[in-house]
Structures are given as C-alpha cells and as structure tokens.
A = this chain, B = another copy of it.
Amino acid sequence: QGERDEKAMIADFKGVQFMSPDTSFYINFRFRMQNRLGANTISGTDLSFNEYDARVRRLRMRVDGFIMNPKLTYSIQLAFTRGDQDVDNTGIANIVRDAIIFYHFTPKFYVGFGQNKLPGNRQRVNSSGQLQFADRSIVNGAMTIDRDFGLKAYYHNKIGEMDYHLKGAITTGEGRSVNSTDDGLAYTGRVELLPLGEFTGGGDYSEGDLEREPKPKISIAAGYSMNKKTNRTGGQLGKELYRPVDMATWMIDAIGKYRGWAYSVEYIKRHVDDPLTYNLSGSLRYAFTGDGINHQFSYIFPKNLELAFRYSRLTPSVKILANESRKNILEMGTTKYFNKHRVKMQLNLNYMAVDGNYAFSHSGNRWGVLTQFELGI
C-alpha cells in the first residue's frame, strides 16, 4: 500500500497497469497532484498576510515496472512544476527525480544503479505523497541528504522476531542537476531495526497509522553520510558554494504505530569543518551546519480524519549563527483521508518562534496556515 521511494512499486500500488502480451515487461503508471493555498502572517501580533503560497506545488508522474523478469525492475519519477525542479537554486529545470534500475539478487537483497533518494532520514525517504503534514519539517529542509546518482544496495532479514534493514550508497554527492562531478563522492549507510516485526503495508515509510496496526510496531534507525568535496550549500541541494567542503551528516530516527496512534521522531546533525566560503569579491555562501529534531504525534479517527501535532527545532551551529537564526515550530495538522494518502485534504496551522522565544511580540515570530488538496492514482 505505502508508496516507497527506495524500490520499484510493482507489487503493492496499482495505477494504470500494462503487461506485455508475452509477459516480457510490466509497467505501472501513476500521477500525483498537490494544489495548495497558504500564507504566513507578518508577525506574531500582526495577523495580516503579506504573501500567499498558492500554486500547484507538485505534479508528478511515476512509472515503475519490470523488464524480462521481476528481478530486473525500474523506477522513474518526473516532476513538472517549477517549485519541484530546483530552477530557483540551479537555473536548470530538473524534470527527472528518479531514474533507477534495480536488480534483485534474492528476495532479500537488491542493488540499484541510477538516481533516487539516498537512504537518509525517514521523513525524506517517505514519498511526498505519504506525509501527514503538507510539508516536511524545517529540520529535513535544512539538513536532508536528498536524491543522488550512483550505486545503492539494500538488504533485509530477520534475527528471531526482529526484522532489520541495511542500506548503503556510493554516489556523486552533487545531487540531481549535474552533468559531471568531481572526484569527491558521497558515502551513505543506514541501519533499521524493527524489533516487533514489519509494519502492515510498509507503514514504516508512511506517516500516520492509516492501517491501524493491531499490534504495536516500532522501527529505530540510524544513518551516516559523508559527502566529500561537495560544492553545494546543502550537500546534494542548494546553491553552489565558492569552495568545496567535506560534509558529515548523522541521522537518527524512529517511528511507532498502534491502533491509529503514530509517533515519529528524527534527529539530524550536520558538520563541516569550515562551512563559510567566500568568492574573490568577498561574498559569502555557507554550508548549513547544526542540528535539529522533529517530533510528530497523531491519531486517526474512525472516519479517516486525523489529528497530528508537530514540534520542530532547528539549531544552526555557532559558525553560521550570524546568518541563520534558531527556529522552533509548533504545528497542528488535520487531514481527511478520502482514499488513503492518494486523495486527501489537509489543513495545517503553525507558529514559528525564533531564538527560542515564544512571545507573540518577539521579532521574527509568525503564524502560518496552509491547506492542501492531494489527488493521485
């Protein structure tokens, strides 16, 4: 049921399907649209809006399938909207999100060659169509390791009752938009432990307990990524730095679900020895370093109406504090799931406090509201 960005969706998630008459290939086509209307207030006390976020946020097409036999699978995802193409950071419209070929050596071990999400923090690997808030957290926004091109390997097995997943990747480290890359690659590894067994329908990579797990399920995970000589402010993302840096990212996260209740948490810490880079005329661009934590807690009522709460804290490192402020966000989300995560309506309300000061009158604080309608097959 749950869409997953780390493998081809050929078994679980049916869109427009086509099997060639000789069964030599299978293709599954889907699309997803997210239309939204949101706004932030001018401050914590002046509740007028100065700008709206009103647009088609995402329009994606996804094609999964196998060729020759189900061991050789592929996953393709295209993004057609401006805000989903890195145009504003790179000047290049990147239509291709995923384009990867998988080979399944055994049911428990497969490798991928191509571009897709790195095995990073859980919220990032969750498809944008599997989220319970309209956007990912500010922690993910500042420090995720995103998509990258290269070799990936995935293994899972059991130790007694406990399932575990091992994931690794060697990738270019420059993200989606490059034609060529320097010799500094990115190395990423991740371990996931599910002591109470696998979630129903792959629910460890889907927010909210839509499956209403009859027995408690937990996944605890830790990962690390070292991006050597990256030349972008966010590693695989962001504007170009004036000098390449080595970027280390630690990620710890967990998710638990039981009878409609869901709780997830993720902690990310990022380090660069000297994150500040300057060009000849003295302009500054810096890699974002620091740490942050994100908690989400939710309950889904019988009619598939969900109430969710989120607390996020993002703390820039001392080195970049002159340019970035510490942010805390409290958010409440209501989601009506008409057809699981595929057709849903979301209303999010949040309050952002900077410098750890929650007073409405504190400079920089503000309220935000966002409603989003998602429709996909």
Does A33 interact with chain B (Cβ within 8 Å)? Answer: yes
Report the separation of the CA atoms of residues A20 and B343 in the bound assembly, to the nearest whole angstrom. Answer: 16
Complex contact B339–A55 (CB within 8 A): no
Does A319 interact with chain B (Cβ within 8 Å)? Answer: no
Q: Chain B interface: which of A82-90, A135-143, A282-290? A: A82-90
Complex contact A80–B78 (CB within 8 A): yes
Does A281 interact with chain B (Cβ within 8 Å)? Answer: no
Complex contact A373–B101 (CB within 8 A): yes
Does A320 interact with chain B (Cβ within 8 Å)? Answer: no
Q: Chain B interface: which of A92-100, A159-167, A310-318? A: A92-100
Contacts of A377 in B (CB 8 A): 20, 25, 27, 65, 67
Does A16 interact with chain B (Cβ within 8 Å)? Answer: yes
Does A72 interact with chain B (Cβ within 8 Å)? Answer: yes
Complex contact B54–A183 (CB within 8 A): no
The main secondary structure of chain A at its interface with chain B is: strand
Contacts of A59 in B (CB 8 A): 76, 96, 99
Q: Chain B interface: which of A171-179, A212-220, A239-247, A250-258? A: A171-179
Supposing A31-B63, A149-B56 touch, asked if A375 and B74 sit within 8 A by C-beta, the answer is yes
Chain multiplicity (copies): 3
Q: Chain B interface: which of A44-52, A203-211, A266-274, A346-354? A: A44-52
Contacts of A27 in B (CB 8 A): 16, 377
7 nearest CB pairs, A to B? A56-B99, A35-B114, A80-B95, A16-B18, A54-B172, A25-B377, A52-B181
Complex contact B343–A55 (CB within 8 A): no
Nearest CB to that of A78 among chain B residues? B80
Complex contact B179–A88 (CB within 8 A): yes
Does A53 interact with chain B (Cβ within 8 Å)? Answer: yes
Contacts of A14 in B (CB 8 A): 20
A60, chain B: closest CB distance, angstroms: 11
Report the separation of the CA atoms of residues A24 and B340 in the bound assembly, to the nearest whole angstrom. Answer: 13
Report the separation of the CA atoms of residues A57 and B113 in the bound assembly, to the nearest whole angstrom. Answer: 13
A83, chain B: closest CB distance, angstroms: 5
A residues near B, CB below 8 A? Answer: 14, 16, 18, 20, 24-25, 27, 31, 33, 35, 37, 48-56, 59, 63, 65, 67-68, 72, 74, 76, 78, 80-83, 87-88, 92-96, 99-101, 113-115, 149-150, 172, 177-183, 338-339, 342-343, 373, 375-377
Report the separation of the CA atoms of residues A50 and B48 in the bound assembly, to the nearest whole angstrom. Answer: 53
A112, chain B: closest CB distance, angstroms: 10
Supposing A172-B52, A183-B52 touch, asked if A92 and B101 sit within 8 A by C-beta, the answer is no
A169, chain B: closest CB distance, angstroms: 12
Contacts of A33 in B (CB 8 A): 74, 76, 99, 101, 114
Contacts of A20 in B (CB 8 A): 14, 16, 377
Contacts of A76 in B (CB 8 A): 31, 33, 59
Contacts of A63 in B (CB 8 A): 31
14 contacting pairs across A/B (C-beta < 8 A): A27-B377, A33-B74, A33-B99, A35-B101, A51-B183, A54-B149, A55-B180, A65-B377, A67-B343, A67-B377, A81-B95, A82-B177, A88-B179, A95-B95
Complex contact A180–B18 (CB within 8 A): no
A42, chain B: closest CB distance, angstroms: 10
Report the separation of the CA atoms of residues A68 and B377 in the bound assembly, to the nearest whole angstrom. Answer: 10
